[in-house]
Amino acid sequence: ERDTATDFGGGGVYGWQATTIIKNTTFRDNYAPVAAGMYLDGREFDSQIIIDSCLFERNIASGYGATSLFQFRTNYTLSNSIFRENVAPTSGAAIYNSDATIFTTTNCLFEANTGTYAACVANYGLGCNGTFESCTFTNNTATQGGGAVSSGFEANVNYHNCTFTSNKAAFAGAIFTQNDGTRLGIENCFFSENTTTGSGGCIYVNPKIPTNIRNSEFTFNTGDFGGVLQAFGDSPLTIENSIFQDNFASTQGAAFNLNDTKAEITNCLFARNLNVGVGAGGAMSINSSDSLFCTVKAVNCTFANNDAVLGAGIAQWEAPLGDAKLSLLNCLFQNPAGENYSIEQGNPEVISLNGNQSSDASLQSYLIGSKDANNLAVTFADPGNDDFRLTMGPAVDGGVAAGAPATDLLGNPRIGLPDRGCYELGINSVKGVGFQVLSMQCSPNPANERTVLNLQNDLNGTAEIAIWNQAGQRVATYMVTKSSPEFSFPLELGGLPAGTYRIQCRMGVLLHEGSFVKM
């Protein structure tokens, strides 16, 4: 603690070509031009480094950044550690991963760190290859880009089972990417309440950066352009089995703002996204500049209850010499606050691959396949309680099998003719995507007037408890506060009909599931 390095860095630890194990160590209030906490250099040696159960807190770098931990061309694993309130003048208040660095970071907390770019973690350079697994990034701030993390200069970084909440930046509220050849992977992650006054409330993708997003959920994120995602240039985007709900834009694209990109979007739900300004795109804005292409293909996606002045579902803009193209297969559009589809400028192209349904006439000129339907609405199961699954109606078996995914958003099989949209009817699962599923118990069970929910985990904070009947309808919701590992909550059952019920308790990406029988 309170160590100072004046020449370069390593205020707490300076490691040179070493194999090292560091456990149960605190790095607090250290100061250096770079790497105030720890500098580890493996440029001349196959360094194998293990860091576990350490605390990095209130360290300050005066020169560049890499404030708490600077990994230069090392191989390392980092686990069960906390990075809190560290400060970087430029990048990486928690971690800086250089080129030729291979890493795995597991079960770490990054909280209230600040920087100009990459408030927590900077991943920069060819051969910077790593994975963040089950990490939480919360309340971090960048004055420019990357409220939590940034990757560039051909780094290849993946995030699995991670949570990003309440991070903010001038652009790229959570994740910023830059430079040709950089790669980004996101799977089973949860993003909520990340904000930017610029573009990309959660994610900002620069040109020529392959990006994969799978099995993730994005809620209550905010940006000027792209409440969730801003993508530029010919970056190939693959987005599958994800939920984009209750996100906001002040100008354009409350969920996605896509400029000159190539995107394939499958089994996704876009619901209640709101463009609060006078711009275009409640769910998505698709834009093509002069001499450039913007090609988007959506397969078995649901666009429901989104809102914008122009294009409550999707809006397209095409420059005079641009080429904007939207292909639709088995998609469902129902956005009653505005038009499902609007053209902001130009003559963009919409291609039906069949099996689509629109609740209004805005797509009537384009949805002309044998199984397309216009001016036809559906009844969702319980949209007021976030349930946009189908009830019986024309969307059931309304899709075409050719090109449809084998499963729906929840992983349930699409049997026979697929339904339109992201859900198949008749599936009782009410589990969301991107969650670690744990058990819970109810006692007594069966019960008459009252049962008590019991569960255990290491998280504290706000939790949501939901009860579902056998029809998949949510019948009760409680917001509670959990303050210890063991948690109990009494459930009054007097108002419920007799039957079997499923119960869930969600905290971030932790999801406890159980059931009880009401006598």
The tens digit of pLDDT for each residue in 185-207 reads 999 999 999 999 999 999 999 99
Reported confidence tier of residue 428, pLDDT bands at 50, 70, 90: very low
Task: Tell which residue, 378, 381, 420, has the closest CA to residue 399.
Answer: 420
Burial of 448 (0-12, 13-18, 19+ CB in 10 A): exposed
Amino acid identity of residue 195, one-letter, is: T
Q: Are 313 and 458 part of one and the same domain?
A: no
Q: Kindly state whether residue 461 falls inside one of the protein's structural domains.
A: yes
Alpha carbon 197 to chain centroid distance? 18
Q: What's the rounded Cα separation, in Å, for the pair 504 and 430?
A: 9
As a whole number of Å, the CA-based R_g of the chain is 24
Residue that finishes a domain, picked among 309, 344, 379: 344
Closest CA to 242 of 190, 203, 283: 190
Instruction: Name the residue with tokens 């194999």.
Output: 19
Q: Is the peptide bond before 320 cis (omega within 30 degrees of 0)?
A: no
pTM for the model stands at: 0.82
Give 103-134 pLDDT, tens digit per residue.
Answer: 999 999 999 999 999 999 999 999 999 999 99
Q: What is the DSSP letter of 385?
A: G
Domain membership of residue 372 (yes or no) is: no
**Separation CA 32–CA 60 (nearest Å):** 7
Contact 438, 455 (CB under 8 A): yes
Which tens digit of pLDDT belongs to each residue from 396-406? 889 999 999 99
Same domain, 233 and 116: yes
Percent of the chain with pLDDT over 90: 80
| Buried/exposed code over 194-205 (b: 16+ C-beta within 10 A; e: otherwise) | bbbebbbbbbbb
Tell whether 282 is covered by a domain: yes
User: Which residues, at least 6 apart from 427, have a Cβ–Cβ distance to it below 8 Å?
Assistant: 389, 408, 410, 412, 472
- ∠ Cα 237 238 242 (to 5°): 120
State whether residue 384 is helix, strand or coil.
helix
Structure confidence by residue, pLDDT tens digits, 1-12 = 887 877 787 888
Query: Considering the chain, what percentage of its residues have pLDDT values greater than 70?
Result: 97
Residues 339 and 456 in one domain: no
**Minimal CA–CA distance to 62: which of 85, 94, 33?**
33
Q: What angle do CA 246, 251, 252 make, to 5 degrees?
A: 70
* Cα separation values, 130 from 74, 97, 179, 237, Å: 11, 9, 17, 20
Whether 459 and 339 share a structural domain: no
Q: Is 124 left (phi over 0), alpha (psi -120 to 50) or beta?
A: beta
Sign of the CA dihedral running 304, 266, 219, 141: negative
**Domain-located, residue 217:** yes
CB 514 within 8 A of CB 501: no
* pLDDT at 433 exceeding the cut of 70: no
If one compares 376 and 45, the residue with the highest pLDDT of the two is 376
CB atoms within 10 A of CB 393: 16
The first and second tokens of residue 213, run together, are 């997003």
Based on DSSP, count helices (H) and strands (E) in the chain, helices before strands. 0, 58
Rounded mean pLDDT, 254-263: 98
* 140 within 8 A of 109, measured Cβ to Cβ: no
Which tokens hold the place of 489? 């909550």
Place of tokens 């729906």: 408
Mean pLDDT of the chain: 93
* pLDDT tens figures, 23-43: 999 999 999 999 999 999 999
Which residue range forms the structural domain that includes residue 130?
54-320+335-344
On whether the CB atoms of residues 103 and 133 are closer than 8 A, the answer is no
- Res 436: pLDDT: 66
In a domain, residue 371? The reply is no
In this structure, what CATH number is given to the domain that contains residue 504?
2.60.40.3080
Closest CA to 255 of 247, 243, 264, 267: 247
Distance between CA 495 and CA 490 in Å, rounded?
14
Q: Has residue 408 been placed in a domain?
A: no
Number of domains the chain contains: 2
Helix (H) or strand (E) run with residue 178 in it: none
User: Which tokens hold the place of 184?
Assistant: 């980004």
Residue 235 has pLDDT above 60, yes or no: yes
pLDDT tens-digit series, residues 294-336: 999 999 999 999 999 999 999 999 999 999 999 999 999 999 9
User: Is 79 in contact with 109 (CB distance < 8 Å)?
Assistant: no
Each residue's pLDDT tens digit, 439-453: 889 999 999 999 999
State the CB neighbour count (10 A cutoff) for residue 442: 21
Tallying the residues shown for the chain, one arrives at: 519
CA distance 107 to 518: 38
Which two three-digit tokens encode residue 488?
């109990």
Same domain flag for 139 and 257: yes
Residue 215 lies in a domain: yes
Domain final position from 311, 344, 377: 344
Identify the weakest region by mean pLDDT among 30-39, 225-234, 494-503: 494-503
Is residue 425 situated within a structural domain? no
